[in-house]
Structure 1
Amino acid sequence: MSEAARVRKPASERRAEILKAADAEFAANGLAGARLEAIAARVGVSHPRIVQMFGSKRSLFLEVVHAAFDRIEGSFADAEHTLVGLGDAYRRLLHDEHTVGLVMLQSYAAAADETVREAVRERQLRLQDAISRLTGADAMQVRTFFATGLVLTVSTLLELPGRQDDIAWGIWALRLAAPADDQA
């Protein structure tokens, strides 16, 4: 058995490494600016290997975007099922996994691409439904949640000096918007 065959990684492990590298590359550079060659170099594979595994840069980008949405949904599932509880879970996720917020913003920026726009729209609607289902929030309360989340995302990613004030404002806004059941 050759040395290369002994150190060859299982496809699932290699796929996970590529997705992690792609997460960092797309978070930093977006769909248009990211290069498959840079992702390949981060992992130590060839550009054609990434194309073989994922099909295209857009397909890889969408997998990264779906993974970011999955991480958000996962943090919500484990949180207290109130708007404030979900907001706090999202705040912690932004702090712990810096690329999540960047990938989300990059997914919105790439929405000029129709395929990306459709995929992100579907995930956004699914996330809105999850928030409503988990908290009992109506459409306006969910919109308030997303507006507050956008302020928190920008404040956190830009490390604005008033970040703590933005967090306090976000909690205040979510409490105002909370379903009547949560205010008892």
Structure 2
Amino acid sequence: MSADERRESAVRAAITEFARGGYNGTSTEVIARRVGVSQPYLFRLFPNKQAMFLAAAERCIADTRQAFADAVEGLEGDEALHAMSEAYQRLIVHDPDRLLMQMQMYAAVAAAEAAGDHEFGESLRAGWLRMFDDIALALGADADKATAFLAYGMLINTLTSLGYPAGHRVWSGFRDPDAPGA
């Protein structure tokens, strides 16, 4: 396996491990073990634990952006909105570690900021802003629609994380008002 393939494998492993254990609760030894490499080799791929976390977090954002881009290809308006919503739901249902990793990103940046490290979250904020801009463009360059989409996305994250089943009353705001029986 090439160094690039090992690095890719390490990023995937880091997403899984950081998603489940958080930044402070995840050891690089666990990531190395999941990848099947030694810890010293892992540090040849990444200079430190922070770089591993940021690579995993940046990949999580990039994969979400790509899912949205793939979903809206050739679509506009409400069709694009619904396609992105469905793509996001598939992403977090089929790979729950993606949702957990997002939450760990927010927690890690907040903790770093509280400790005075204001640089830690710069690349994540930049990636999130690119995602916001992508969403706004897909929705007709409408920042208000992008904001509403992301607000609903955060609500979906919360409801999913808390384990509310799809038919629960807390999901009522997501029901199509024109659907039979709504």
Considering the TM-score relative to the shorter chain, is it more than 0.5?
yes
* Counterpart-to-counterpart distance in 1, 2:175 and 2:64: 18
* Counterpart-to-counterpart distance in 1, 2:119 and 2:167: 34
CA deviations over 1:20-75 (Å, ceiling 9, x no partner): 21111110111121110111121222111111111111111111111111111111
* In the alignment, structure 1 residue 123 sits paired with structure 2 residue 127: yes
Aligned residues: 166
Match of 1:104 in 2: 102
* RMSD, aligned CA: 2.2
Match of 1:155 in 2: 159
Which structure: greater helix fraction?
1
Quote the offset at 1:127 in angstroms: 0.6
Match of 1:177 in 2: none
Quote the offset at 1:79 in angstroms: 1.2
SS of residue matched to 1:142: helix
Match of 2:180 in 1: none
* In the alignment, structure 1 residue 50 sits paired with structure 2 residue 48: no
Structure 2 gaps of 5+ residues are 113-117, 178-182
Match of 1:139 in 2: 143
Q: Which amino acid aligns with 2:8?
A: A
SS of residue matched to 1:50: helix
* Counterpart-to-counterpart distance in 2, 1:170 and 1:116: 35
> Equivalent pairs: percent with the same residue?
33
Structure 1 gaps of 5+ residues are 1-8, 174-184
SS of residue matched to 2:13: helix
So what's the TM-score if we normalise by structure 1?
A: 0.80
Quote the offset at 1:106 in angstroms: 0.8
SS of residue matched to 1:159: coil
Flag the 1:64–1:35 CA change in 2: closer, same or farther, 3 A: same
Quote the offset at 1:84 in angstroms: 2.2
2:81 corresponds to which of 68, 80, 83: 83
